[in-house]
A and B are shown apart, each in its own frame.
Chain A
Amino acid sequence: GQSLEQPSEVTAVEGAIVQMNCTYQTSGFYGLSWYQQHDGGAPTFLSYNALDGLEETGRFSSFLSRSDSYGYLLLQELQMKDSASYFCAVENQGGKLIFGQGTELSVKP
């Protein structure tokens, strides 16, 4: 079967660093994507890892280990506006993007 697992919620304080994990099991694997969704908003693409290692884009970094079927999204210098749901997604052999259940991040002052 195909499944992605993410913690349902994470709480952190402004200025801190937070890591949100994603483990996956899928038939065929091309890469791991991360999307952000604010309440009432649309999912917005953040990053993509096709190969092992760390990709950095400003305060956001995403990591992938294909051998462990594991990835994470790291947010640094947390801001209140980072409070949102974060979804990992895997593109499988059928060309479908399979989304995890999402991690709801709450940033406290």
Chain B
Amino acid sequence: DTAVSQTPKYLVTQMGNDKSIKCEQNLGHDTMYWYKQDSKKFLKIMFSYNNKELIINETVPNRFSPKSPDKAHLNLHINSLELGDSAVYFCASSHPTGRETQYFGPGTRLLVL
């Protein structure tokens, strides 16, 4: 009965590798997001999709590519991982008219060595 789920929960990998994080929500929301939280707990939006359409694309390196196969799923693929990509990545979802109330997944802790 999990609302927003992410896999994997932990990801340890070498620089230069390519990795993906998956997110699924069963809340029936149309809007999904990816956030990055750094070591100082600063939470910053990366992307937002509404019903499979990209609506927010922050200044993020193009090594990061989101993909939404349907409105319940939003995946994040990262190419050529760098040390600075180490962070916690959160997926979230909301109603399009209720963006102030977002439901976050448990996070994916990425460590690039």
Question: Residues of A at under 8 Å CB distance from B?
Answer: 30-31, 33, 37, 41-45, 48, 50, 85, 87, 89, 91, 94-99, 101-102
Please tell me the number of chain B residues within 8 Å of chain A, measured between CB atoms: 21
Does B107 sit at the interface, judged by CB under 8 A? yes
* CA–CA, A22 and B54, complex, Å: 30
Contact A33 B101 (CB under 8 A): yes
Chain B 47-60 interface mask (CB, 8 Å, partner A; 1/0): 01000000110100
B residues with CB within 8 A of A: 40-45, 48, 55-56, 58, 90, 92, 99-107
Distance A99 CA – B58 CA, assembled complex (angstroms): 14
Q: Which residue, of A41, A97, A98, A99, has the highest number of chain B Cβ atoms within 10 A?
A: A97
In the complex, A98→B101 CA distance in Å? 13
- The distance in angstroms between the C-alpha atoms of A91 and B101, with both chains bound, is 10
Would B104 and A44 count as touching, CB distance under 8 A?
yes
Bound CA span A36–B88, Å: 16
Known A42-B90, A42-B105, A94-B56: A99·B100 in contact at CB below 8 Å: no
